[in-house]
Amino acid sequence: MSSAADRRPATPMARQILEHHSLLSRARALPGEARFVLAVLTLGALVAGAGIGFLVVTGQLDGRWYDLRDLGNATAHFRGWTQRQGIHSAVPYLVTGLLGGIAILSLVGGWLVIGVWAERRLIAKFQIRQGPNRVGPFGLLQPLADAVKLLQKEVLIPIGADKLLFFLPPILIFIPAMLGWGPVPWAPKMSYADLNVGVVYTIAISSLGVLAVFLAGWSSNNHYALLGAMRTVAMMVSYEIPISISLLAIVLFTGSLQLSDIVAWQAQHNVWMIVLLPFGAFTFLFASTAEINRTPNDIGEAESEIVAGFHTEYSGMKAGLFLAVELGNALLVGAMMSTFFFGGYSLFGLERWIPGYLIMGAKTFLVYFGFVWLRATLPRFRLDQLMAFAWKFLIPLSIIQLLFVAVESMVVVQSGLPGIVTIGGSIIANAALTFVGVRAWANAIGYSPKEMASPPIMTNGVGGLRAAEQIRAAS
Amino acid sequence: MTTVNEPYVLNIGPQHPSTHGVFRLRVVMDGEVIRDLDMIVGYLHRSMEKLAEERTYTQNIPFTDRADYLAAMSNNLGVCLAVERLAGVEVPERASYLRVIFAELQRIASHAMANGTLVSDAGAWQTPLLYMFREREKILDLFEMTCGARLTTNYMRIGGVAFDPPPEFWPALQELLDEMPARIDEYASLVVDSEIFLARTRNVGVISAADAINGSLVGPALRGSGVPWDLRKAEPYCVYDRMNFEVPVGRHGDVYDRFMVRLEETRQSVEIIKQAVAQIPDGPHKTDIPLALRPPPGEVYGRVEGPRGELGFYVVSDGTPAPYRFHIRAPSLINLSLLREMAVGVSLPDAVVALGSLDIVVGDIDR
């Protein structure tokens, strides 16, 4: 009777992790000289941190070009310098535009690598597996190895495919995925293109990708691809509407279509939109999973039904581009979600200490983690169920919420009452709408999941049709 | 102006994520709706029944491993019971208990696979499948401990079982039995009340009790339609008549019911194994039979309740060491024949889930 005791770890999991994975234990294992160097470095980092903290507190850093909490400062200083030198104003515009574009491309590229690794690793942990752990430390270089593998592979073009239209979609789908990052505010002054119609731009760009998807599905000359494309188009068309309505509610509160204004409003009122508009946040999250083809709404490329959907026929790096764009879109939705609903770069005053783009990145990856979690947990909807959910549930309730918000926003602006009263009242009203309204609406359209889940009847009997009828009658 | 949809033909398989092997569906579709459906089998045909006519009865046992490769123990048991009845071989009591224990372990492992792949067919990203694989892995470890093989066990023999389990088998089995109910609950909590899973499986692929009997459906698919027919109760073999267990039957006959029946059967199997472990006597684990067993001329149809349903072996002897005719009544093939009733007129995702709920094994279909 030894095996039961042998297999269980002798110490609790938390202690094991502390003992085997903590930095302290790693440092203790180092040789003496290395430990000395490490101690000096740590001390230096602490002193430097204290010095920076002092500068930040006394406000000596504010607005300088080397104020790295907001990279927009450097740009502004550069523009001022060129003006003083008498250089044409187009030059700083072009230079910063080019630099910013490269910066966004490399940032998203780097995030993609981290995103691929994080998704595979996290899903493996959810599924009691190890996940990638061979290439590099913790398997961190696995995405690069995957990319190299995909680049080496031959790109096949099916005989029946429309050559040009088959060639275009992987490129076409990449453009809106990158353009979407333009208006994201990373810090108060740090935004690639702080458009005054940022919300409209976001909605417009997000619906461009569907063109490439449909081209890919149609030109492949494959039934699975066509089915996937049709499903994706139907989904996108349906879910644009709830997304737009939920964003409209935000715009009513903030009174601006500019993303930086929306973040500033949340920072100023010290409230995140997810608290103020829980139903709007849910709508946005759910609708975005449909837009970017992720579980539970990945019906556009439902593996168990239509193999890989619209990119069934793509191979090599072309398929890789589709997958990368999909992941990039998930990160983009994460960034949008944090901008619209999680206060963007603001963190209740802490953004004075921590660079805004770090806060923004952390929030983005938090939402991304939510997507991974969903993917590891939920089964998939059917197309008609998804459509019904949008048209019968999300859209009517979003419109009702919009009516609520229209009144509330007028009260917030015009009543002259303190913010804690008006915004607090709005929070309570919207929470009530979310929890009561959703229930009532579900009852009204006749949805009752509790009755659907019924356990089987346990019996000791044996028999055929008559026994079956008796058992059913008795239960 | 009206638009007319033109039906088109979609080949699902032989290589497709949800056909569970090399099995092909030729579907005539109208948009997303299935109008007609042909099932094309035979990609895995190995001529098992003909090969069996050239080999002795004991040599035929390994073939049955490869028929339903997810339930090798049950297949072994079926052929051994049939030949024993034909030849009049007595089985020691300990061997009968061991057979029950291993057949029920195999049932848990097979149902885990069936339910896991069903949820994956419904779109979950393999998580429920891997959760159930955790327990299946431990069961396969037990098999390996006892007979050295994990999938193609070749464990049962005519007149008993090949080996007595080693001493370390029993504590490991007890540990598995102790944790199993909690594991099944954990698995159920992930799937059973999931509203998405309910929406996908409730009232999908409905087979009425009358249709199920007319289509000679067997196993969890039959019991999911509400018919309380379990050979372990109806025609107890081995020592099932001494076991205290219940048979779950479904209410609606849909995919969800078949899923739930399998889940409950897993719980009942754990109970059966617990009772068998408590009751198992000491003694020999097999009787010695001649290497070239010559049953008297005659025929026999032996059947057991495998994980997929009634698994029958029709064996005809002409008095020589090899069977004259060796036929396997495969539950997967018969169950599959009702797919057409379920799938025509519904959309593709529903058909995929209905196919998953039948729990076919292509090795069992093609043999």
Of B250 and A305, which is predicted with more confidence? B250
Closest residue, chain B, to A381 (C-alpha):
B196
Which of B28, B145, B196, B256 to probe by mutation at the A interface, max A CB count within 10 Å?
Answer: B196
Residue B225 contacts A, CB cutoff 8 Å:
yes
Question: Is B172 in Cβ contact with A3 (below 8 Å)?
Answer: yes
pLDDT at A24: 66
Is residue B70 within a helix (H) or strand (E), and if so which, with residue range? none
Pick from B39, B112, B21: which is nearest to B71 by CA?
B112
For A63, A198, B199, B255, the CA distances from A195, given in Å and listed in that order, are 22, 5, 42, 51
Q: Does B350 touch chain A (CB under 8 A)?
A: yes
Asked if B135 and B180 touch (Cβ cutoff 8 Å), the reply is: yes
Instruction: Please state, rounded to an integer, the average pLDDT across all residues of chain A.
Output: 83
Residues in chain B with CB shorter than 8 Å from the CB of A227 are: 32, 348
Average pLDDT estimate for A391-395: 87
A46: pLDDT strictly greater than 90: yes
In the predicted structure, residue A234 carries a pLDDT above the cut 70? yes
A50, A65, A323: which is closest to A173 by C-alpha?
A323
Q: Is the complex ipTM more than 0.85?
A: no
Interchain contact B15–A (C-beta under 8 A): no
Q: A453 vs B210: CB contact, 8 Å cut-off?
A: no
List helix spans (H) across A127-222.
142-152, 163-167, 169-172, 174-179, 198-206, 209-219
CB < 8 Å & 24+ apart, contacts of A48-56: A53/A353, A56/A352, A56/A353
Residue A134 falls within a domain, yes or no?
no
CA distances from A319 to A222, A263, A316, A322, B335 (A): 15, 36, 6, 5, 38
Residues A98-147 have pLDDT tens digits of 988 898 889 888 888 888 888 888 888 888 888 888 887 888 888 888 88
Which residues make beta-bridge pairs with B233?
A: none
Q: Are the CB atoms for A237 and A203 separated by under 8 Å?
A: no
Q: How far apart are CA B163 and CA A55, in angstroms?
A: 78
What is the C-alpha separation between A77 and A75, in angstroms, rounded? 5
Closest CB to B348 among A305, A381, A385: A305
CA distance B233 to chain A (A): 7
Contact call for A469 and B209, based on CB within 8 A: yes
Question: What is the pLDDT at residue A13?
Answer: 60
Task: Tell me whether residue A1 is in a domain.
Answer: no
pLDDT of residue B273: 92
Half-sphere exposure of B284 (CA within 13 A, CB side): 8
CA A462 to chain centroid: 54
Q: Taking the mean position of all CA atoms in its chain, how far away is CA B12? A: 23
> Is the pLDDT reported for residue A322 higher than 60?
yes
Q: Which of B173, B177, B249 is best to mutate for the A interface (most A CBs within 10 A)?
A: B249
Q: Is the pLDDT of residue A334 over 80?
A: yes
Task: Report CB contact under 8 Å: B18, A378.
Answer: no
Do the domain assignments include residue A136?
Answer: no
Q: Which residue from A minimizes the CA distance to B121?
A: A304
Distance in angstroms (rounded) separating the CA atoms of residues B222 and B227:
6
Q: What domain range is A363 assigned to?
A: 160-444
Residue A281 lies in a domain: yes
Predicted confidence (pLDDT) per residue in A237-287, tens digit: 888 889 999 899 999 888 889 898 888 888 888 888 888 888 889 899 888
Q: What residue ranges of chain B have pLDDT lower than 50?
A: 1
SS3 A375: helix
Please answer yes or no on whether A458 and B248 come within 8 Å at the CB atom: yes
Contact B199 A382 (CB under 8 A): yes
Q: A41 falls in which pLDDT band (50, 70, 90)?
A: very high
pLDDT of residue A11 exceeding 60, the answer is no
User: Does residue A419 fall inside a structural domain?
Assistant: yes
Interatomic CA distance for residues A204 and A191, integer angstroms: 19
Q: What is the pLDDT of residue A201?
A: 92
Contact A177, A328 (CB under 8 A): yes
Contact A381 B16 (CB under 8 A): no
Helix axes A223-254, A395-414, angle to 10 degrees: 20
Assess if residue A71 is contained within a domain.
no
Q: Which residues contact B238 (CB under 8 A, 6 or more apart)?
A: B77, B81, B96, B97, B99, B100, B103
Residue that has been written with the tokens 């070749």 in this structure: B154
Chain B stretch 254-313, residues whose beta carbon is closer than 8 A to a beta carbon of chain A:
257, 260-261, 264
pLDDT of residue A3 exceeding 60: no
Give the CA-trace dihedral at A105, A107, A110, A116, to 10 degrees: -90
Q: Of A253, A163, A177, A246, nearest to A211 (Cα)?
A: A177
Per-residue exposure over A316-337, b if at least 16 CB sit within 10 Å of its own CB, e if not:
ebbbbbbbbbbbbbbbbbbbbb
- Cβ count near B317 (within 10 Å): 23
Please give the pLDDT value at position A1: 43
Of B131, B172, B196, Cβ closest to residue A379: B196
Whether A223 sits inside 8 A of B10 (CB atoms) is yes
Distance from CA of A319 to the nearest CA of B (A): 18
CA pair distance A276, A430, nearest whole angstrom: 7
Minimal Cα distance from B13: which residue of A? A307
CA–CA distances in Å: residue A310 to residues A211, A214, A229, B252, B349: 12, 8, 5, 36, 16
H/E segment holding residue A459: strand A457-459
Cis peptide, bond prior to residue B281, ω within 30 of zero = no
The tally of domains found in chain A comes to 1
Encoding tokens for residue A46? 């602490």
CA distance A431 to A442: 16
Residues B43, B21: Cα–Cα separation, whole Å: 9
Q: List the domains of chain B with CATH numbers.
A: 8-366 (1.10.645.10)
Q: Do B229 and A383 touch (CB under 8 A)?
A: no
- CB spacing of B229 vs A127 below 8 angstroms: no
CA distances B315 to A312, B72, B111, B259, B296, Å, are: 47, 19, 28, 33, 12
Residue A284 lies in a domain: yes
In chain B, at which residue ranges do the beta strands (DSSP E only) sit? 8-12, 24-30, 33-40, 156-157, 160-161, 247-249, 298-306, 309-317, 325-329
**pLDDT for A9 beyond 60:** no
Asked if the Cβ–Cβ distance from A456 to B119 is below 8 Å, we say: no
Decide which of B317 and A444 is more confident. Answer: B317
Q: If residue A185 lies in a helix (H) or strand (E), which one and from where to where?
A: strand A185-187
Q: A397 CA to chain B: closest CA distance, Å?
A: 20
What are the tokens at B283?
């003694």
Whether the CB-CB separation of A400 and B146 falls below 8 Å is answered with no
Name the closest residue on chain A to residue B176, using Cα atoms: A4
Amino acid at A81: W
Contact A117, A364 (CB under 8 A): no
Q: Do B251 and A475 touch (CB under 8 A)?
A: yes
The answer to whether position A54 is within a domain reads no
Q: Average pLDDT, stretch A459-471?
A: 79
Alpha carbon distance A190, B321 (integer Å): 86
End-to-end CA distance of chain A: 44
Is the pLDDT confidence value at A10 over 80? no
At B163, is the secondary structure helix, strand, or coil? coil
Which residues of A fall within a CB distance of 8 Å from B125? 123, 295, 375-376
Q: Given an 8 Å threshold on Cβ–Cβ distance, is B348 in contact with A295?
A: no
